C-alpha cells in the first residue's frame, strides 16, 4: 500500500464529490462513459446514499469497486448487502454483490479500470495499478430485479 496513492485518491475523490452535482444531470440525461449511480442505504443512518461509480464489464459479468480499499459506500454495501444501480436510460436495478478475493478475476477487473473508465480516471488507475492490486475493493454484481425507484 502506498500512502502517496491513498492521499492522491482521497484528493481525487474529494474533487469528484464536489463536481458530482454538476456532472449528475449530464449522467442522468446523456450518460458519461461507464458512469452509473449506486444507491445504498447508510449502515448506521439507513438514509439513502448516492455515489457515482464506473460500471466495469468483463465478459458477461459487471463489477463496481473502489481503487483505494474501503470507502464509506463500500462499508455501507458490505453492511447492507443490497443496493440499487441506476444506469442512464434504463430502469433502476436492485443488486447484490460479491466481494472479489485476490485472484485472476479480480486482476482482470482491475485491468478493466484503465480501459473502461473515463479520463482522467483511466490514467490515474493505470499509474496506480500496483497500489490498486494491493488494496482495491471490487465487487461482482448480481442483478436481483427492477427496483421500485432510486
| Distance (Å) of CA 102 to CA 32, 56, 86, 108, 113 | 29, 17, 27, 11, 16
Give the DSSP letter string of 111-137.
HHHHHHSPTTHHHHHHHTHHHHHHH-E
pLDDT in tens, the chain (150 residues): 678 887 777 777 677 677 767 766 655 655 556 788 899 999 999 999 998 889 999 999 999 999 998 999 999 999 998 999 988 778 899 999 999 999 999 999 999 998 898 787 788 889 999 999 999 999 999 998 665 544
Partner residues linked to 85 by β-bridges: 38, 93
Domain CATH number, residue 109: 2.30.110.10
- Count up the domains in the chain and report the number: 1
Assigned domain for 27 exists: no
Assigned domain for 48 exists: yes
Q: What is the pLDDT of residue 29?
A: 59
Q: What is the pLDDT of residue 11?
A: 77
Closest listed residue to residue 23, CA positions, set 37, 6, 10? 37
Assigned domain for 26 exists: no
Partner residues linked to 38 by β-bridges: 51, 85
- Report how far residue 113's alpha carbon sits from residue 1's, in angstroms, rounded to the nearest whole number: 18
Q: Model's pTM, two decimal places? A: 0.81
Q: What is the pLDDT of residue 150?
A: 43
Range of the domain at 115: 3-20+34-83+92-146
Amino acid at each position: 500500500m502506498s500512502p502517496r496513492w491513498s492521499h492522491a485518491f482521497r484528493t481525487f475523490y474529494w474533487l469528484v464529490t464536489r463536481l458530482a452535482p454538476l456532472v449528475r444531470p449530464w449522467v442522468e440525461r446523456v450518460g458519461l462513459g461507464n458512469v452509473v449511480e449506486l444507491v445504498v442505504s447508510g449502515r448506521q443512518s439507513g438514509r439513502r446514499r448516492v455515489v457515482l461509480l464506473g460500471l466495469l464489464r468483463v465478459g458477461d459479468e459487471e463489477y463496481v469497486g473502489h481503487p483505494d480499499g474501503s470507502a464509506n459506500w463500500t462499508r455501507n454495501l458490505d453492511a447492507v448487502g443490497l443496493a440499487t444501480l441506476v444506469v442512464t436510460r434504463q430502469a433502476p436495478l436492485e443488486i447484490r454483490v460479491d466481494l472479489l478475493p485476490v485472484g485472476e478475476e479480480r486482476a482482470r477487473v482491475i485491468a478493466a479500470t484503465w480501459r473502461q473508465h473515463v479520463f482522467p480516471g483511466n490514467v490515474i488507475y493505470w499509474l496506480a495499478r500496483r497500489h490498486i492490486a494491493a488494496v482495491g475493493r471490487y465487487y461482482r454484481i448480481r442483478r436481483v430485479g427492477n427496483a421500485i425507484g432510486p
